[in-house]
Amino acid sequence: MAYPVERLQRNRQSPQIREFMKEIRLSPEDLIMPLFIHEGRSESVEIPSMPGCYQHSLANIVEEATHIAQLGIPAVILFGIPTHKDNEGSSASDQEGVIQQAIQMIKEQVPELLVIADCCCCEYTDHGHCGPLKDGELDHDATLARYQDIALSYAKAGADIIAPSGMMDGMVQAIRGKLDQDEFTHLPILSYSVKYASAFYGPFRQAGGAGDVFTSDRAHHQMAITQSQEAFREAQLDEDEGADMLMVKPAMSYLDIIHQLKAQQRRPILAYHVSGEYAMIKAAAAAGIVSEADAFEEQLIALKRAGAHKIITYYAKEYAQSYGSKKEQT
Confirm or reject binding of residue 204 to ligand PBG (CB under 6 A): yes
Query: In the complex, what is the shortest distance from the CB of residue 44 to ligand PBG, in angstroms, rounded to a whole number?
Result: 18
Confirm or reject binding of residue 315 to ligand PBG (CB under 6 A): no
Task: Specify the residue, 6 or 217, whose C-beta has the smaller distance to ligand PBG.
Answer: 217
Confirm or reject binding of residue 143 to ligand PBG (CB under 6 A): no
Q: DSSP 3-state assignment of 78? A: strand
Confirm or reject binding of residue 122 to ligand PBG (CB under 6 A): yes
Which residue, 210, 234, 232, 209, is CA-closest to 221?
234
Q: Catalytic: 249?
A: yes
Confirm or reject binding of residue 120 to ligand PBG (CB under 6 A): yes
Question: Cα(221)–Cα(200) distance, rounded to whole angstroms?
Answer: 17
What are the φ/ψ torsions at residue 115 (nearest 5 degrees)? -110, 115
Beta strands in the chain (DSSP E): 31-38, 45-47, 50-56, 75-81, 114-119, 133-134, 137-138, 161-164, 190-195, 245-249, 269-273, 310-313
ω into 74 cis (within 30 of 0): no
Q: What is the DSSP letter of 224?
A: P
What are the φ/ψ torsions at residue 311 (nearest 5 degrees)? -125, 125
- Choosing from 36, 196, 201, 315, the residue that interacts with ligand PBG (CB under 6 A) is 201
Beta bridge partners of 50: 47
Torsion of CA 177, 178, 182, 188, to 10 degrees: -70
Task: Specify the residue, 105 or 207, whose C-beta has the smaller distance to ligand PBG.
Answer: 207
Q: In this chain, which stretch among 51-59, 116-124, 143-151, 303-311 interacts with ligand PBG, using CB under 6 A?
A: 116-124
Task: Specify the residue, 62 or 133, whose C-beta has the smaller distance to ligand PBG.
Answer: 133
Task: Specify the residue, 26 or 197, whose C-beta has the smaller distance to ligand PBG.
Answer: 197
Catalytic residue among 85, 107, 178, 249: 249
Q: Which of residues 266-305 bind ligand PBG (CB under 6 A)?
A: 274-275
Task: Specify the residue, 33 or 105, whose C-beta has the smaller distance to ligand PBG.
Answer: 33
Confirm or reject binding of residue 118 to ligand PBG (CB under 6 A): yes
Q: Catalytic: 195?
A: yes
Query: In the complex, what is the shortest distance from the CB of residue 214 to ligand PBG, in angstroms, rounded to a whole number?
Result: 7
Catalytic residue among 85, 107, 178, 195: 195
Question: Cα(216)–Cα(124) distance, rounded to whole angstroms?
Answer: 16
Size of the site for ligand PBG (CB under 6 A): 8
Q: DSSP 3-state assignment of 46? A: strand
Q: DSSP 3-state assignment of 93? A: helix
Query: In the complex, what is the shortest distance from the CB of residue 8 to ligand PBG, in angstroms, rounded to a whole number?
Result: 38
- Choosing from 44, 165, 191, 193, the residue that interacts with ligand PBG (CB under 6 A) is 165
Q: Which residues form the catalytic set?
A: 195, 249
> What does the binding site for ligand PBG look like in residue numbers (CB under 6 A)?
118, 120, 122, 165, 201, 204, 274-275
